[in-house]
Each structure stands twice: as C-alpha cells, then as structure tokens.
Amino acid sequence: MFRSLIILALICAGGAGLAQDTSAEITAESCAVCHNDSATAIPKIGDRSFKELTDTLTGFRQAGSTVTIMHNFVAGLTAQEIEDLARFLSRKEEN
Amino acid sequence: MVGYTRRQAIAASSSFVSASLLAAPSLGQGKSRVVIVGGGFGGASAARTLRDIAPDIDVTLVVATETFSTCPFSNLVIAGEIPMSQITFGYEALISAGVSVRRGVATEIDAARNMIVLEDGEELSYDRAIVSPGIDLKLDEVPGYDAAATEVMPHAWKAGAQTELLRDQLAAMPEGGTFLMSVPNNPYRCPPGPYERASLVAHFLGKSNPTAKIIILDGKDSFSKQPLFVEGWERLYPGMITHVPFAENGGVLNVDPAAMTIETAFETFKGDVVNFIPPQRAAEVLLRSGLGGDGDWCPIDEATFESPHAPGVHVLGDSAVVGDMPKSGFSAAVQGANCAHVVASLLRGAAAERGVLLNTCYSFVAPDYGISVAGVYRVNGEGRLASVKDAGGTSPVGANDDFRQSEADFARSWYTSLTRQIFG
C-alpha cells in the first residue's frame, strides 16, 4: 500500500492531483459517448488544445440556448472542473 | 488525425496509474474476476471500460441473446424509416477487446457465495459483480394483458420481435383507423419514448393513411419534454394525436385483446392497432435474488452502485434507482463506465473516485425534427446522485426548422457514437 502511494506521488508530481485527474477522467467518460466519432455531426474533441477546450466550454456559458445542449452541461460544472476536464482531454495529445 | 475515443484518452492519460496499481496486495493470488450480467448499454459499457482501464482484471459478460437490439431508434424501425439490422449489434468487438462473453440467462445472484447462477446450471464466481439486466414487464398487473396478449397488442418496449410486430401491424392498419397506445405511470424505461413513438407513427400515417388517428392513454398527467412534443405535434400533425392524461381517463382497468379494447375508469377505447406499454419492474433475477428489497426496483449506494442487499454486487441501468438519472440507454452507458472505475478502484483497495455524470436524450418528432433533454448529476453531501441545480434542461421551444433539423442530425450522431463506443 505504501509502495502504491509512493508510485502515485511520483506519477502525480508536477501535474494535477490524482483525485482531480480521476474525477476528470470519469466526467470525460460521459463526453466520450457522443464525441468519439469523426464521421458524425457532433464535433470530435480529441484534437483540441487545452486553451481551445477551455475557451469553448466556457463560451457555452455565454451562448445559452443558441446551442442545443452543451450550455446545459457546462452550467453544471465548476470553473475548476472545466479546467481539469480540458487538461485531461488535451493531455493525450502530448503522448 | 485521430478522433477522440475513451480508449485513446485513457491510454494516454492518468489511467496508466491503474495498470501499475493492479498488483495490489489483495490481488496477490492471481487475477481478480468481475462478472457482468446484461448485454445492453449498461453491462456492455462496463465490460468495455473495465477492459480498457484494468487489463489485469478478468471480465466475463453474461448476455441473454446472441445480438442486442437497441430501444433507442426502435421507433424509427416501427415507422419504417430504418431496418432492424441497423439497430442490432453483436458482441464481436467486445470479444476482440478481451471480454469473455458468455451466452446464458442468469437465474440467481448469490451474494453470500459470490456466485452468478445460470439457467444451464453453471455457476460463475466473482470478486465483484456488475448487474444491468434491464426491465421486466409486469404482465400480471393489468387484467387481460398476459403473455398471449403481447402477441395481439404488442408492447414493443423491448426491442426485437415485438418491434417488428408493431411495425407490421401499423403498416397494415385500415384507412382512417385508430392507433391506440397505453403508457404507464413513472417510473418506466425511457420516459420520452412513448411520445416519440406517437410522433413517428403520426409521421408514417401522415404519408400513407392521413385520416388515421392516434390516441395516447396516459397513466400520468404530464410527461418528459411535453412542451416540445406538443409544439411539434401541433406543427406537423395537427388534429392527429390525442393525449388523454390520467386525470381524464382515471387509469386502465383491463384490456381485451379479442375486442382490441382498453377499458379505463371513465371510458372504453377501441383500436385497430393497440400498443400496450405495461408497467415495469427490475429484471426478475434481481428481485428473486432479493436485490429489490420490498420494492420493484433495486436501491443502491448511489456513490458506488453497490447493492445494500448484496455486498459486492453493483446494480446499474434501468433495474436500479440511480438517483435522479432517468432510465435511458445513455444513462446506463455512462453508469456502466463509471461503475467500471468504481469496481477497478475497489478491487485494488482504493477509494472510489467520482466525477460528474451526464445524460443526453434525443427524440424525433419527425425524422428531420429533433428535440433533446440534458441532465447533469453528481453525488451530494447526503450521498444522493442528484440533478445539479440550474444545469440541464430541454432544448428550446419555438426554435426554427434549421434548429430542429440540426437536433435530428445530432440525434443520429449521438446514436452512432453511443453504439460505436460500446459495440464498435
């Protein structure tokens, strides 16, 4: 167990905390259900930068009901959660 | 350029932590085993996610049928817009991903012995079980509506042969005939589903049988996305659909398949085609195994999906009371992914981490006219998976045709993505 904690500490060093990361990963599972396929009318979100994702998600707050659905989701997320989610979704590009 | 998939995101992100932690002390004696019951959105999503995030856990998925036909989009089949083959999926992709798919019917969840008992006598042992077997219809509830009656007055509330039967009856309905529907009170699978069905039946009849009528006998007074449905009906099918709320029918007393009638407290209705959607409950195997307690649905710890009646058994999807989330395929898929994370964490001795859960549900008022509802859910201080205040809601009433067309396009994309994520 202690060994696990050390591994965790090492992995998390310099990045977001594991709790935030795991939480963002779980939230991203919901996103992926719709946004996983390039051949549809729903934009894929796999090739977006952290800034683009943050701007887009935050922008839905202002957009209100001119969009169909996303503003209703974003209204339920805190600014920190949006940031964690954008970091999680953009990070895979670095790998 | 590679599109976003959960699998890619997982592979490239924090979850490599999971793999490195799987050699936790409790797993010292070989691999942990998770048995999942139910090959629908909930079970298959849980299996696929576990395969992705926890390669060191054995995953067995027990499925009742060789293929799975989705209830989402089955109303398009009934209306003759798409074939059954387009909503029917096999388990090949799950097998390729490393899931052991076992064809069989679970007859008992034996939490005391950590065993799933199958109809053919085999017993599958598990370290943790995830069960998502969906609904059963209460055929004993309304006098006259028994198994034989389902062949005359199809419910079509489990996609498959019933869907095709209702489609064929609709196509053969006499000119100027009546399509009579009965819809139960809450809770039941897919709250907006009956009203989407009425809409798409109206679309079909508008083309082929424009003097026909649709009557909906409702077990409640208001329904999901009601303002959006009613607006669409007035725009697209004026005068064709009559919704009779509970207050105006007093409840269904009995049905008579020979006479094709439904008797309510106030009036007897006759249909040329009768679509009787009966009251529902959690799948029989769960209630028989005591997971429903004294009720029709399975209560759970809403933070972990674990049954208070069966330690080590996690229940999700339509069978369970999952906080404020509706009984929908999308909800079940999201819950399945979430539960996979919970179970993987618990099996390696870690606390279950929670994120936000989303639900999206599109309905067609016509093939080119979509409407939607969205919800955001998180576990609150009392441990309830509650709707987040001021978030979620339906798409707007009064939107123009382009907006409704785009929602119809999104609905098709939503379905493609949802099914490909799990079965593709």
Q: Tens of pLDDT along A28-75?
A: 989 989 998 778 889 888 788 999 999 999 999 887 767 889 999 999
Q: How many domains does chain A have?
A: 1
Q: Is the peptide bond before B245 cis (omega within 30 degrees of 0)?
A: no
Judging contacts by C-beta atoms under 8 Å, the chain A residues touching residue B303 are none
pLDDT for residue B396 is more than 90: yes
- The pLDDT of residue A18 is 55
Count of CA atoms in the C-beta half-sphere (13 A) of A77: 29
Asked if the structure places residue A2 within a domain, the reply is: no
Asked if the structure places residue A58 within a domain, the reply is: yes
- The pLDDT of residue B134 is 98
Looking at the complex, does the CB of residue A80 fall below 8 Å from at least one CB of chain B? no
Query: Is B4's CB within 8 Å of A68's CB?
Result: no
Can you identify the CATH homologous superfamily of domain B6-64+104-134+283-351?
FAD/NAD(P)-binding domain (3.50.50.60)
pLDDT for residue B38 is more than 90: yes
pLDDT for residue A11 is more than 50: no
- The pLDDT of residue A22 is 77
- A 10 A CB-CB count for B58 gives 17
Using DSSP, state whether B386 is helix, strand or coil. strand
- The pLDDT of residue B29 is 60
Using DSSP, state whether B19 is helix, strand or coil. helix
**pTM, two decimal places:** 0.91
Any idea where the domains of chain B sit in the sequence?
6-64+104-134+283-351, 148-279
Distance CA A29, CA A21 (A): 12
Return the residue in A22, A57, A80 with the most chain B beta carbons within 10 A, the one to mutate for interface testing: A22
Bridge partner residues of B394 (DSSP): B373
Asked if the structure places residue A48 within a domain, the reply is: yes
Taking residues B243-249, report their average pLDDT: 98
Looking at the complex, does the CB of residue A31 fall below 8 Å from at least one CB of chain B? yes
The tokens for B122 are: 């085999």
Between B57 and A95, the more confident residue is B57
Between A92 and B118, the more confident residue is B118
- A 10 A CB-CB count for B92 gives 11
| B37 Cα to chain A: minimum distance (Å) | 21
- The pLDDT of residue A65 is 65
Q: Which domain holds residue A82?
A: 20-94
Asked if the structure places residue A3 within a domain, the reply is: no
| A9 Cα to chain B: minimum distance (Å) | 11
Under CATH, which number does the domain B148-279 receive? 3.50.50.60
Taking residues A14-38, report their average pLDDT: 76
Q: Which of A18-22, B165-169, B223-227, B399-403 has the lowest mean pLDDT?
A: A18-22
- The pLDDT of residue B353 is 80
Same fold, B6-64+104-134+283-351 and B148-279: yes
The tokens for B352 are: 């279950």
What residues have CB less than 8 Å from B241, skipping those under 6 apart? B198, B199, B202, B213, B214, B216, B233
The answer to whether B264 touches B252, Cβ cutoff 8 Å, is: yes
Query: Is A32's CB within 8 Å of B5's CB?
Result: yes
Q: Give the CATH number, domain containing residue A60.
A: 1.10.760.10
Distance CA B64, CA B55 (A): 25
The tokens for B274 are: 């009768």
pLDDT for residue B367 is more than 90: yes
